Structure 1
Amino acid sequence: MSTESANPDFFKSKVLGHPSGLFVLFFTEMWERFSFYGMRVLLVNFLTMAVAGVAMPGWGWSSENAGALFGTYAGLLYLTPILGGMIADRFIGYRWAVVVGAGIMTLGHAAMAIETEFMLYFGLALLVIGTGFFKPNMTSIISEMYKDLPEKKDGAYTIFYMGVNAGAFFGMMLCGYLAEKVGWSWGFGLAGIFMLLGTLQFWMAKPLFGTIGEVPKKEKREAAAAAAEKRNPFTTLDKILILLTSVIGVLFIFNDPLSKIGNINILPQEFIVSKETLAGPLVVILIGLVLFLFLIVGRILRYDRIVRDRMFAFIVFAFFTVFFWMSFEQAATSLVLFARDFTDRALDGNSLVIFNTVNALLTIIPLGIITWVLVLLFKQTKSVILKSNITLFVCFGLMWGIVLWMLYREFTSENSEVTVSWFSTLNSFFIIVFASLYTKWWDSKYNPSAAVKYGLGLIIMGLGFAVLAYGSSAIPQGAVAGTVRVSMIWLILAYLLHTLGELCLAPVGLSYVSKLVPGRMIAFMFGMWYLAIAIGNKLAASVGGMIDDIVRDYDMSTFFLIFTFVPLVAGGIVILLNPVLKKLMHGVK
């Protein structure tokens, strides 16, 4: 039975050529990303802000401690979706998983708005758990919607990811503005409000989806489990290795913030090998990685040569993914601190007028376009999901109110200061601007190979940090925050290059999971892919947290040169491996 005949009402009601339900998911994801990125852009800034002598005092943490906490949080965000996807597949269905995840995240944002240390940790824990349920199952609903209409799936995902970037853009801009201009609780609280409204909007739209994403039937669950076991059963050794590597990974990821913030060590502090003293956590995680590699290689060797070669190629891509995200995710840690402490953000006179005009256009035009999409959705679905649409109008009314208040406040000020969080919005803006150009490039005869795309992504990322290294050369060794500031143009150019690099690399990795990995190993390899991103995020926060120490002992340019050379070298190696990877991929493009 085709999808269309199974859900006739679902596919009759269309917006911009796609089912109305896709735009319900678009807005649900938009509000979730609004909340996620709104909180993300605040966390390190809030934790490290001085406790006195500033307009909006924070907690005065060191950058190292803030990086340790954020790195663990960011790493877990890419691991819990593996479990959340399994629970949805086998027990509660995709739609219930989204509702449960969104509800838990709403509570997490509410907890963080209270601004006590316990509520901070509790809120972050809830956000990690909620994301585990929410993140994998939104895309699973889209996949189920279009399972018999594959020719429309690419367009659907393009629309969906526009919602991701719209939410990230407005979340960072508005939550950041409220937090830095009014108070931290306002920024954290706004993230929670939109998460709550997004949850209600999705829940009240359930009549539109019919049976899509509902609780899987028992027979289907049992058949899927039996098929998976038959295809590539896990041996006893496999299960032991999975357990060991999981335990080691969890202990390592929690040991970092516990040891630095609470002086609690759950791993040995050091090992003595041949009279040499080695850091205990480093030894433990290396053992875990060796065991995990043994597990991966052992499973791959059970396949025939072509399948085996393709999966080895995928592992190479996953490995280099770590270096990309280690650099890219400086946006959440060290670049926030650089923008706050060493970037000249003061505006007055003509510079203030020009900035406010540009900022108004960047804000009002996309918000107007998305509001128009909301009106189209309302016209198509007002008789089916009226309450959901009303909730959406409340969301947009609130957002328009905050945007107009923000712009009025800035236009009537004689002098102002660009918020730290504003720079983070540039990534989403540049993605919206350049994504279609990259799509045309990939569809043309000049479409490069996967390895070249990867290499270009890493090299362009490195060039972005080279710009920062050059721009920060005036900041001397041991510079104190606020004593030396450089032009904001360097940070803007860096975000532009980082985004261009991201557009080369990020979409490629996920698409090659299905191209290179057999169906019976996709779930396992998706887990490995998210593990690579989690490691990259953890490394990003750990190294980014060292910014104060490196500036004290060397200078700011030296810090940025780390993230210049690592991706440049990694990108060069990937491009050199292009002939080998092409051979391993056996014709997959």
Structure 2
Amino acid sequence: MSGAATSIQGQAPIPEFEQRLGHPKPLWMLFMTEFWERFAFYGIRWALVLYIVAQFYNGDGVGQAPANRVYGAYLALVYAAAIFGGYIADRVLGYQRSILLGAAIMSAGLFMIAIPNEQVFKFGLATIICGNGLFKPNISTMVGKLYAVSDERRDSGFTIFYMGINLGGFLSPILTGWLAEQVFGTSAMPAYKMVFLASGVGMLISLFWFWFGRRQLEGIGRPPADSQGKQKVLYVFLGALAAIPVVYFLLALGAGTLQWVLLAMFVALCGLLLFEGFREGSAQRDKVIAMLIIFTFNILFWMFFEQAGSSFTFLADQIVDRQFSGGFVFPNAWFQSVNSLAIIALAPIIAWIWVAMRNSNPSIPRKFGLGLIFNGLAFLLLVVVLTPLVVPAMGLESLPSWLKWAPSVSPGSAFAAAPGKIPFWSLFMVYVIQSVGELCLSPIGLSMVTKLAPVRLVGFGMGGWFLSTGIGNNLSGIFAGEVSGEKGMSTATALTGYGFGFMVLVGAGLLLFLIAPLVQKLMHGVK
């Protein structure tokens, strides 16, 4: 098959790339670049909150809530930074240079967080955020630029690229967990420093992989001819350095104050989209309203989904029975690989189900509703296995009034593991069930935005999607802080928090199912 592609009108022709396995050769270079970047990003995910408590709170449970809030704020700012990173690549630096500069800055941040000083650690997180903002949105854009819009291989190319993301996310917790708990430390005292150093090395591999492989792109992603000089690289680099203290300040504000900042940005962005929608007529106005409704439910989804790097990590550390026969202890880090493994295994099945349903294929709002409900069912499983630990020890009166139903769905001691613990398989299945919810919701999000946002403001629509996800991530840290309580997580605080999560998610999912016909009507035929 020829690699030549006819670009859309007004854009430079797409080069005739050499083909590898039916796709342009540069796709595989971008695949491995993203693999190593995700290796670095997910490599530290499991260790951050545990490290904060161990290093800066001497292992005291009182550090869990602030650690959760820092983690949520960190994720939120990663998504917010992506908005600015995409703009810089589009208008200033070009995609190739943005990716290279972002990778270099991100590498520096990963090595910084290995230094056992709280201020340096937070500056390191701020540096990772700024680097990721330049890298993450632009590497995905590069994949799209390898294909013409009408190229039938385009979707499968993104699917291959998505596998790179999940392979990196699958392997990095396994390797970094092994290094921290088996090679340089123990399960009782992991060597978190090695996690951060290994992730930094992974990011350097990503940097050099793209540096040497970018010639394959044959000019795609380079800046315009009148901006080929390296002066703008220096300006953006200095701007990124200046942004790091600003991001550090936002982290230092705390998740509560940051939430107001993010909400103000979100309201302003929504106002701009609505104004443009009204300006373009009733149909576009309705589409914008439908998109904003979906954004609201998207916030709720990620608020509870992103417990993986926060409260679920403490749950695995303290309340999950990870002891197997023969003395093997399942590393906490390895739970982080379950989501990626489930995505790789289940994505083709979910895609086949949507195709097989044909005319009965759920609408976009109902797929979002399914995503929320599956996320909620994962929390229901935690309620089922935690209830037998809490009620016999503390009594039914220990449960809040809205959680009195929990004993009726719990099979008593049938799920008992070690004393005071829940079985290993329960948390494993929580990640799997959540992954089903993610597959119902996440893949269609960006596609939906391109179809519903005003033509002149599609970029702002994408920004709204990322910002709603970021707000959800920040709220996830606040929620995780409540789950941990004032003195650290207990079975009682976990049951109360996860019971609340179940009720909110399932309630929101059912509500979205009910109003789906209205939302679909506002979408004016967009599917």
Tell me the TM-score normalized by structure 1: 0.74
Q: Which stretch shows the higher mean deviation, 540-549 or 94-103?
A: 540-549
Question: CA separation of 1:138/1:252 partners in 2, compared to 1, >3 Å: closer, same or farther?
Answer: closer
Q: Distance in 2 between matches of 1:38 and 1:22?
A: 23
Q: What is the one-letter code of the residue matched to 2:132?
A: T
1:473 equivalent to 2:387? Answer: yes
**Distance verdict in 2 for CA 1:462–1:140, change over 3 Å:** same
1:473/1:556 contact within 8 Å kept: no
Q: Residue in 2 aligned with 1:580?
A: 518
Partner of 1:303: 280
Matched, 1:463 2:463: no
Aligned pair partner of 2:344 in 413, 422, 432: 432
Give the match for residue 195 of structure 2.
Answer: 187
Structure 2 equivalent of residue 486 of structure 1 = 422
Question: Residue 453 of structure 2 corresponds to which residue in structure 1?
Answer: 517
Identity of aligned residues (%): 35
Partner of 1:548: 484
1:66–1:51 distance in 2 versus 1, CA, 3 Å:
closer
Which residue identity is paired with 1:195? Answer: M
Q: CA deviation at 1:300?
A: 2.4
What SS class does the counterpart of residue 79 from structure 1 fall into? Answer: helix
Q: CA deviation at 1:148?
A: 5.1
Corresponding residue for residue 41 of structure 2: 36
Alignment of 1:209 with 2:254, yes or no, is: no
Find the counterpart in structure 2 of residue 240 from structure 1. Answer: none
AA aligned to 1:318 is F
CA distance in 1, matches of 2:260, 2:348: 45
**Post-superposition shift, 1:15?**
1.9
Number of aligned residue pairs: give it. 471
Evaluate the alpha carbon distance shift between residue 10 and residue 108 of structure 1 in structure 2; reply closer, same or farther with a 3 A threshold: farther
Q: Quick check: 1:504 aligned with 2:443?
A: no
CA distance in 2, matches of 1:216, 1:58: 52
Q: For 2:254 and 2:299, locate their aligned partners in 1 and report how far apart those are by CA, in whole Å.
A: 24
Query: 1:50 and 1:216, CA in 2 relative to 1: closer, same or farther beyond 3 A?
Result: closer
Shift, 1:212, TM fit:
0.5
1:272-331, CA deviations, whole angstroms, 9 ceiling, x for partnerless residues?
Answer: xxxxxxxxx888877776555544433322121111111111111111000100010011
CA distance in structure 2 between the partners assigned to 1:461 and 1:131 by the alignment: 27
Q: Distance in 2 between matches of 1:109 and 1:50?
A: 16
Aligned residue runs from structure 1 range 356-395, under 5 A:
none
**TM, length-normalised to structure 2:** 0.83
Distance 1:38 1:59, change over 3 A: farther
Task: State how far apart, in whole Å, the 2-side matches of 1:253 and 1:122 are.
Answer: 6
Residue type at the aligned position of 2:472: G
Provide, for residues 179-215 of structure 1, a one-character-per-residue CA deviation record: whole Å limited to 9, x for no partner: 2332111111111111101110110012211110001
Q: 1:315 to 1:74 in 2, by over 3 A?
A: same
Larger displacement relative to structure 2 (115-124 or 331-340)? 115-124
Partner of 2:335: 423
For structure 1, the 5+ residue unaligned runs are: 221-249, 268-280, 350-414
Counterpart of 2:368 in structure 1 is 454
CA distance in 2, matches of 1:338, 1:218: 54
2:240 aligned with 1:326, yes or no? Answer: no
- Amino acid aligned to 1:298: F
Residues 473 and 530 of structure 1: CA distance in aligned 2, closer, same or farther (over 3 Å): same
Q: Deviations over 1:217-259 (max 9, x none)?
A: 4599xxxxxxxxxxxxxxxxxxxxxxxxxxxxx9999567445
In the alignment, which residue of structure 1 is the partner of 2:51? 46
SS at match of 1:147: coil
Residue in structure 2 matching 1:568, options 493, 503, 506: 506
The CA deviation at 1:548 is 2.5
Q: How big is the shift at 1:486?
A: 1.4
- Aligned equivalents of 2:491, 2:426: Cα separation in 1: 23
Give the equivalent residue in structure 1 for 2:31.
26
Match of residue 208 from structure 2: 200
Could you tell me which amino acid in structure 1 is paired with residue 352 of structure 2? K
The answer on whether the counterparts of 1:79 and 1:531 sit within 8 Å (CA) in structure 2 is yes
Distance 1:169 1:162 in 2: 10
Q: 1:178 deviation in Å? A: 1.5
Answer yes or no: is the 8 Å Cα contact 2:53–2:67 preserved in 1: yes
Aligned CA-pair RMSD: 3.1
Cα distance in structure 2, aligned partners of 1:108 and 1:256 = 15
Q: Are the equivalent residues in 1 in contact too, given 2:77–2:470 (CA < 8 A)?
A: yes
What is the SS of the residue equivalent to 1:211?
coil
The change in CA–CA distance for 1:214 and 1:251 in structure 2 (over 3 A counts) is: closer
Q: For the residues of structure 1 that align with 2:380 and 2:141, how far apart are their CA atoms? A: 39
TM-aligned CA deviation for residue 77 of structure 1: 0.4
Q: Deviations over 1:354-387 (max 9, x none)?
A: xxxxxxxxxxxxxxxxxxxxxxxxxxxxxxxxxx
User: Which whole-Å deviations, capped at 9, do the CAs of 1:381-409 have from their partners, x for residues lacking one?
Assistant: xxxxxxxxxxxxxxxxxxxxxxxxxxxxx
- Look up the match of 2:235: none
CA deviations 1:43-89 (Å, max 9, x no partner) are 0122124889xxxx868761111012111111000011111111111
- Partners of 2:206 and 2:259 in 1: CA distance: 41
Matches of 2:124 and 2:261, distance apart in 1: 29
